[in-house]
Amino acid sequence: MTERTFSIIKPDATKRNLTGKVNAVIEDAGLRIVAQKRIRMSRAQAEKFYDVHAARPFFGELVDFMMSAPVVVQVLEGPNAVAKYREVMGATNPADAAPGTIRKLFAESVGENSVHGSDSQENAKLEIAQFFTDDEIVG
């Protein structure tokens, strides 16, 4: 089933000029980038986005990291896009990520792990709506 998921290329990757390399892995996996923009996240945006982790000890560090350099927010489309992109990203900790995944290839640590991808269709819809209007998504 054709689905959409939400992706972020995180500051550790944009800082190292890896946007194109990450996008190549995404496109080679059969996912289509149907919306994309480079933004500087505000504290309010980062706190809202990671609200589910607000009680975790790393929350402050995570919000500061997401504001530390530009990010690229994206909408990806394809068959089973949510699960497919989670597979393409690899495990949260790059040490546990499978060969060929974005995090195995590029991530620096469990915190600075190069990409975000939605974990459910429901969250994908909410996350896409936080950063994109319908007319910015061109399938």
Between 110 and 137, CB nearer to ligand GDP? 110
Whether 53 sits among the annotated catalytic residues: the reply is no
> Using an 8 Å Cβ cutoff, are 67 and 47 in contact?
no
CA distances from 118 to 63, 70, 84, 123 (A): 17, 19, 11, 6
> Using an 8 Å Cβ cutoff, are 52 and 43 in contact?
no
78-117: which residues touch ligand GDP (CB under 6 A)? 92, 110-111, 113, 116
The helix (run of H) or strand (run of E) holding residue 74 is strand 71-79
For residues 24 to 63, the per-residue mask of contacts with ligand GDP, x marking binding by CB under 6 A and - elsewhere, is: -----------------------------x----x--xx-
Q: Which residues bind ligand GDP (CB under 6 A)?
A: 53, 58, 61-62, 92, 110-111, 113, 116, 119
